[in-house]
Structure 1
Amino acid sequence: MQLKIKIYRGTHQIGGCITEITTEKTRIIIDFGTVLPYRNGKMPKENLVIEGVTYIGHRNCDGILFTHYHGDHTGLLDKAIKGIPMYMGKAAKKIFLLSQAHKNSDSVARIEQIREYEDGKSFSIGDIKITPILTDHSAFDAYMLLIEADGKQVLHTGDFRTHGVKGEMVIPRLAKLRGLVDVMITEGTNLSYTNPVVTSEYLLAEAAETLMERYPYVFVMCGATDIDRLAAFHKASERKNLFLCDAYQMSLLETAAEYGAALTDFYRFDRTRVYFEEMEGVKDGFCMAVRNEKDFSEIMKPYREKHNEQTLIIYAMSEGYLSKHHQAIEKLTSGFRYIIKLHTSGHASEEAIWAAANTVSAKKIIPIHTENPEKIRLGALQDRVVFLEDDEEFNV
């Protein structure tokens, strides 16, 4: 009997990673997403056919597991042959469903059919045992997955970091696996960047709080499902006693509070209210989460025209997003005098990758989700690194 790993996509690109793990009896896929542009702006090839998984014909896959809801991990959901069981964290599924509700009914129906898993609660697909391990990432309710079969253990980190709201729990949880893991498949996103921003979300909140003392009216441009970032700005706006958002954003924050408040007070969005038409009379000002949409442009307009000196715009998004949507964002924020960027990566720093790998001390370590896997530096464990090519099979 032999446990095997195959990375269909992701050995030399960020996003769109697809990992297959098989035994003689069972075949599972971990993450099934759309590709992201290379750093040079070019797009990797999206067309991907995986026999028994992505084309109409004989189904030969026992389960697809999503580590979290970001599109580069879930975006090919509709391409999978119907009938393949899919799995995702309980809160992640709810947020995913809310964020995709505007899509066609068939897509929504497939999301609704996703089976839910929970932190620390093992389950089996065929002769493969899976244990979800809650981790820290810019997506709420993201997981590492411990795979056990044929007397072997494989840890798939998914996307993770240690500088977010849940960052302090990552390494202690991995310490329980020390010396037990045969192969660790680790994300390496930030290996592709020079000096990536990996500031703590807590420090970001402190910086935002200082700025909010100066400006009564603060608009934060942030991804709707970037719950940690929104939690940081909600925390920073305590003195204003009011954090505003639209009804859609409120539904996402309520979900995060439902599942995350027991972990940390950062996920208690008690001062959050759905915005109302007349906001100018709000005592002590406000902080408001906005997105690149027309409705927010109309809301922000009076503050550009009447309260420009008292208004601050905060960009809380990646450089990639800002570049891709430059014209639309410029239209939304044009005319505002005070604009600042406060952002931190959703991915592990090089130091965090080193800490995770050294803590687990797996026999073999495979970097994925990076354009530059060869840049991984693991000190005394460097000789354990295995560099694979897409479609290459590895025997555990």
Structure 2
Amino acid sequence: MQITIQRPTQIGGQMTRISTHSTSIIIDLGHNLPSNDDKDALDNDSTIAELTQGCSAILYTHYHGDHIGLFHRVPDSIPQYIGPVAKQIVCRKYQQLCCLPEKECSAAFKHAFRTASNMKIFQAKQTLHFGDIAITPYFVSHSAYDSYMFLIEAEGKKILHTGDFRGHGYLSKGLEATLKYFVGQVDVLIIEGTMLARPEEKVRTEMELCQEATKQMNVHKYSFIHCSSTDIERLASFKNANNRIIPKRALITDAFQKDILDLFSRTAGKQSSCFDFGQVFTYNEHNQKLKEWMITNGFTMFVRATPKFHSYLDHLLPILPATETLFIYSMWNGYITNGSTQNTEYIRLQEYFANNKILHLHTSGHATAEVLRKVCNLTNPRLAIIPIHREKSTDFKSIGISPSLQEKIITQDYSMEGIDVILAPTSHTRQ
């Protein structure tokens, strides 16, 4: 068996290929994040065709671009799999992008939309078989809804690929039980380590975030929220905070965000009222009746850093009392600080609220060192621990696992009991 991991010592641009003598599958095919490389060396049809040659299937842990961003480059002959709700989100995203005026972008997005529409879906805990490889997806909490870890069984070995996950979300409760009763001990653990590079970052639970949001929103009549438009748990935190205010205020957004919230209500909302967003109103700057109702009763608006929302703010902010208006930034702080990860559009959006209360209220979508340690202990890998999705400078031993587990951490090419591990940080390796 061969395990090949592209770019293991960076956050983003993920790809793991697992091959037996007769079958190959790939987990994730992500694009570089802007901080890693302005031009992704893998982002072309010929390279992806070479990387995926002979592959039986590609399976995606979730829909973030650093895990799925190169899916549109994959030859049509290779089936691609993703969670059922995740597929709908990807399709809705590219449907939205197809509306952009630039002809060149529009053509590329239309191709991506068609490719996403043809993706196959898998279900949690239902095993898929590709040749002599069996793969079972297990649901995890992450800042992308419908995320999964994969248990891969082949040639008498068990490999767990965690994808991105965390232990402090509403949907994290099943993590320990899943590992104890469904996964058990594995031979190889491939595990993310994003938070190892951010030891100073405050990690609160989603419930704690909701409680703080409630306090702030309760004393501000008009709340504007900038968070991920597809992070169901974060959106639910602000929805739940909004619903605790008496009288309850309306949720306002645009048609795209409303479609996403309605999708969450139809799916996760059927399992828990926490994720039922109820009636969501689409803002229209020409609808004077809606605007008057919003001003009279107060509102919570989910915003994005786009020209459309700039126009909304140009119309709304001049007529709202500055002291009653709140802007909450609920994304990673690295996007609005100096450095290679800075997003100027996010900064520009925040600048609209220079005369208002601005609150930074966020918690990570990734596992803390404590949770990483728990996963290592629960799965007790027999042969190897392979850290991925981490900064090169980080030391996975720092999570505090036992010396016997520390000895199994692999950070370079290695062979053991019929398994060859190849770590390819920059170049691509043909299988």
Q: TM-score, normalising length from structure 1?
A: 0.91
1:13-32 superposed matches below 5 A: 13-32=10-29
Q: Which shows bigger deviation, 56-65 or 153-162? A: 56-65
Cα offsets for 1:206-235 (capped at 9, x unmatched): 111111110010000112112211111001
Q: 1:193 aligns with which of 190, 198, 207?
A: 198
Distance in 2, Cα, partners of 1:393 & 1:36 = 30
Cα offsets for 1:47-96 (capped at 9, x unmatched): 13999972379941111111000000011112223311111001101111
Pairing 1:305–2:314 present: no
Q: 2:361 aligns with which of 336, 342, 345?
A: 342
- Secondary structure of 1:105 counterpart: helix
Pairing 1:252–2:269 present: no
- Secondary structure of 1:176 counterpart: helix
C-alpha change, 1:320 and 1:393, in structure 2 (3 Å) is farther
The count of residues paired between Structure 1 and Structure 2 equals: 389
The residue identity in structure 2 corresponding to 1:148 is E
User: Is the Cα–Cα contact under 8 Å of residues 155 and 185 in structure 1 kept in the other structure?
Assistant: yes
Cα offsets for 1:266-314 (capped at 9, x unmatched): 2111142222434243354111100111222232235432321111011
Pairing 1:220–2:234 present: no
The residue identity in structure 2 corresponding to 1:168 is K
Distance in 2, Cα, partners of 1:213 & 1:59 = 56
Cα offsets for 1:329-351 (capped at 9, x unmatched): 33552443211111111111111
Cα offsets for 1:226-252 (capped at 9, x unmatched): 221111100100123321111111111
Q: Which shows bigger deviation, 56-65 or 215-224? A: 56-65
Equivalent position of 1:242 in the other structure: 250
Cα offsets for 1:119-152 (capped at 9, x unmatched): 1111111111111000000000000001011111
Distance in 2, Cα, partners of 1:290 & 1:157 = 31
CA RMSD of aligned residues (A): 2.4
Equivalent position of 1:361 in the other structure: 380
Equivalent position of 2:293 in the other structure: 281
Distance in 2, Cα, partners of 1:50 & 1:368 = 23
Distance in 2, Cα, partners of 1:249 & 1:305 = 24
- Secondary structure of 1:166 counterpart: helix
Distance in 2, Cα, partners of 1:210 & 1:81 = 51
Distance in 1, Cα, partners of 2:34 & 2:407 = 30
User: Is the Cα–Cα contact under 8 Å of residues 44 and 73 in structure 2 kept in the other structure?
Assistant: no
Where do 5+ consecutive residues of structure 1 fail to align? none
The residue identity in structure 1 corresponding to 2:37 is M
Where do 5+ consecutive residues of structure 2 fail to align? 99-108, 420-431
User: Is the Cα–Cα contact under 8 Å of residues 245 and 290 in structure 1 kept in the other structure?
Assistant: yes
C-alpha change, 1:162 and 1:57, in structure 2 (3 Å) is closer
User: Is the Cα–Cα contact under 8 Å of residues 4 and 393 in structure 1 kept in the other structure?
Assistant: no
Distance in 2, Cα, partners of 1:58 & 1:271 = 44
User: Is the Cα–Cα contact under 8 Å of residues 52 and 61 in structure 1 kept in the other structure?
Assistant: no
The residue identity in structure 2 corresponding to 1:349 is T
User: Is the Cα–Cα contact under 8 Å of residues 7 and 393 in structure 1 kept in the other structure?
Assistant: no
C-alpha change, 1:248 and 1:327, in structure 2 (3 Å) is closer
Q: 2:344 aligns with which of 314, 319, 326?
A: 326
Equivalent position of 1:35 in the other structure: 32
Pairing 1:379–2:405 present: no
Distance in 1, Cα, partners of 2:298 & 2:44 = 54
Equivalent position of 1:66 in the other structure: 60
Distance in 1, Cα, partners of 2:133 & 2:50 = 25
Distance in 2, Cα, partners of 1:212 & 1:50 = 46
Residue 46 (structure 1) shift: 2.2
User: Is the Cα–Cα contact under 8 Å of residues 327 and 353 in structure 2 kept in the other structure?
Assistant: no
User: Is the Cα–Cα contact under 8 Å of residues 52 and 59 in structure 1 kept in the other structure?
Assistant: no
Once the two structures are aligned, what percentage of the paired residues are identical? 34
Equivalent position of 1:133 in the other structure: 138
- Secondary structure of 2:264 counterpart: helix
- Secondary structure of 1:36 counterpart: coil
Distance in 1, Cα, partners of 2:82 & 2:372 = 24
Distance in 2, Cα, partners of 1:361 & 1:45 = 38
The residue identity in structure 1 corresponding to 2:405 is Q
Cα offsets for 1:152-199 (capped at 9, x unmatched): 110100000011120111112111246431111000001112322321
Residue 373 (structure 1) shift: 4.7
Pairing 1:292–2:314 present: no
Distance in 2, Cα, partners of 1:292 & 1:44 = 20
